[in-house]
Structure 1
Amino acid sequence: MRTLKLIAIGFLWSIKVLYANDSLKVDHLIQKIANTHLSQIQSDANGKVNGQLSKVLIVGDSLFFKLQIANRSNLNYQIDFIRFYVRDLKTSKRTVTQEQELYPIVSSVNQNNALKAGASLNEVFVLKQFPISKTSALFIEVYEKSGSRHLYLKVKQKHILKAKAISSIFNQK
C-alpha cells in the first residue's frame, strides 16, 4: 500500500513539473472556464446543497470538468474532499467491481473549502485523459466534513466522448 502512495505522489510531482512552465496559461484557462456559462450534463442535490457538472472540455490530452456547488441551506457546507473514480455501471451478482481512482492534475480548489450559507462556488478540475468503456462511468463524489450531505455525480462515456475543444468554445464568444 505504501508503494502505491509513493507512486501516486511521484506521478503528481512529475505532472506539476510538466505544467510548471505553463502554470500561468493553465491558471488563466481555469479562471476563464470557471467564469463561462456551460450547459449542464449532471446534477445532484442533498439537504439544499446542489452540485452541477457542466459540459466536459478538452485541450490536448487534458479533460476539464467544471463543478458548481450551491449551498441553499442556512448551514455552512464544509467540503472534506472531492473524489474522482471510474467504475462499472452494472454488475451481476457475485461479480467483483473495480474502481480506478483518478487524481486531478490541476484544480481551482480554494484552501478554505467552506461554502457559506446561501453561497455558491465554481471549481474546475483538470484530469489527464483516461480510458472509459461504454459499460463504465466516471463518478465524482463531494463529501461534507462531519456531515451527511454528500453529492454523487455520474458522467457517462457519451458525455466524455462529446467533450468540446476549449478553443471552439472561446472562439465563438
Structure 2
Amino acid sequence: MGIFLAPTTSAALVRLAELDGDTGSAPLERLRAIRALLVALDTDPASLAGVRAAREQGASWEQVADAAGLKPAAAKWRWQGSDEEIAARQDAGRKRAARPSSVPTDLPGLSVAEAAAQLGITPQAVYLQVSRGRLASRTVELPDGRSYKRVFPGEPPQATPHNHQDDGVRHD
C-alpha cells in the first residue's frame, strides 16, 4: 500500500482494514476510522495529481467531475489553477465552514419567512402588509454590517409611513 497515496491516507486505510478484520471492534471506532479515511482521501495530493494527469490527457472537467462524483463546477473549484490558488480557495472554504450559521438565531421578532408561515400568507404578502403599514417591521443591523428585516406581528405598526426603500418591495 502507499504507492501513490500520502502516508497519512495509507495509514488511515490500513487502520480501517485492520478494523474490518476485527469482529470485536466497536462500531463507533469503525465509524471514526471510515470518516478519517474519507477526510484523508479528500485532501490527499493523489487526487489533484490524478486530475492534472487526466486533464493533460485531454479529459474534460465534466469527465473529471463524473469520475470524482462531483458537479463540474465543484471539480473546477476544487482542482483548477495553481497549487497556491487551490490552497487559498480551500482555506477560505474551511474558514466559512468553521463559522456559525450565517443567519443569527437570536434576533428579535420573526424573519419574513417565519412571519409568512405564522400568518399563513406568502413572504410577498408580508412585505406588502409592511409597506401598507399593517405589519410592524424593523431592519436590525449587526455590528459586522449585516442587516435583517424582522417582522413583529404582535406589535402595532408604526404611526409614520414606512420608507419604501426599506420595505423590501421593488418600486419600479
TM-score (ref. length: structure 1) = 0.21
Question: Relative CO higher for 1 or 2, CA cutoff 8 Å, sep ≥ 6?
Answer: 1
TM-score (ref. length: structure 2) = 0.21
Q: Which of the two has greater strand per residue? A: 1
Q: Which has the larger radius of gyration?
A: 2
Q: Which of the two has greater helix per residue? A: 2
